[in-house]
Amino acid sequence: MERIDKIIAAAKNISRSDARALIKKGLVSVDGETVKAVDRKFDEVNSDIECNSEKISYSKFVYIMMNKPKGVISASDGRGDKTVIDILPDDMKRKNLFPAGRLDKDTTGFMLITDDGDFAHRILSPKSHIPKTYIAVLDKPFDNEIISAFNKGIMLKNDTCMPALLEAVDDTFTVGRVTISQGMYHQIKRMFGKFGIEVLELKRIKMGALELDSSLGDGECRYLIADEIDKIKQQI
Ligand code: URA
């Protein structure tokens, strides 16, 4: 059982207050009966719920895209530090949410947050090779030798990284667009570090086929829509 405002907000990718407004206007019905009490609870899976005469398909889990700001930890327990879960807006908070993936505290950009444990587990697994693209601002330029070393696979400690794509964003060669298919600890910083290059800023802009929504400001988030969830699930 779930509150009707929460069901409508999640299904239509709108805020809880916008969902409440629709309910109060009499635009929501459950099993043919108009519902005006925003806090009434229904069986979200087995009820026939309509909003604006459109059938609502309720997803058991939520998938949230966040534009992670600097200074927050990609974990559910920050042990004193703020986490990506702490900074979710109140109307998106629910039980069992945690980040499906890791970004360093100072890395910004695309963070997926979900309560679908199986999905998160598959994304976090070392067996998952979903491509992830980052923009890296560097303290000095890279060259074609480094591009081909990334492409062959850099050795980090005793592991050879999978081939990575490195492209110059502009002709200074101090901003790189890097695509990796693993999630090793500090991977991109260590890959550049091999060549004495320091990563000054790092932002994840893409996971699989999904790009970070450019309308999301620092720390802002939105629900993924069904089509986006399908796309990312196909890649893990
Ligand atoms: N590589 C890094 O070095 N840091 C990140 O946060 C992600 C990839």
Closest by alpha carbon to 51, among 17, 92, 11? Answer: 11
pLDDT at 194: 96
Query: What are the residues whose beta carbons fall under 8 Å from the beta carbon of 157, sequence distance 6 or more?
Result: none
Give the catalytic positions in this structure: 104
Q: E-strand spans in 35-161?
A: 41-42, 49-51, 54-55, 63-68, 98-99, 108-114, 132-138, 155-156, 159-160
What does the pLDDT look like over 3-50, one tens digit per residue? Answer: 999 889 878 878 899 999 999 999 999 999 999 999 999 988 788 899
Residue 220 phi/psi, 5-degree rounding, is: -85, 160
Atom of ligand 1 nearest to the CA of 199: 3
**Among positive and negative, which fits the CA dihedral 152, 155, 159, 164?**
negative
Q: Which residue's CA is the closest to the ligand 1 atom numbered 7?
A: 103
Q: pLDDT of 162-190, one tens digit each?
A: 999 999 999 999 999 999 999 899 999 99
Is the pTM value of this prediction over 0.85?
no
Q: Looking at ligand 1, which atom is closest to the CA of residue 190? A: 3
- Residue with the smallest CA separation from ligand 1 atom 2 is 186
- Span 102-139, pLDDT tens digits: 999 999 999 999 999 999 999 988 888 999 999 999 99
User: Does residue 199 carry a pLDDT above 90?
Assistant: yes
Which two three-digit tokens encode residue 158? 């005793």
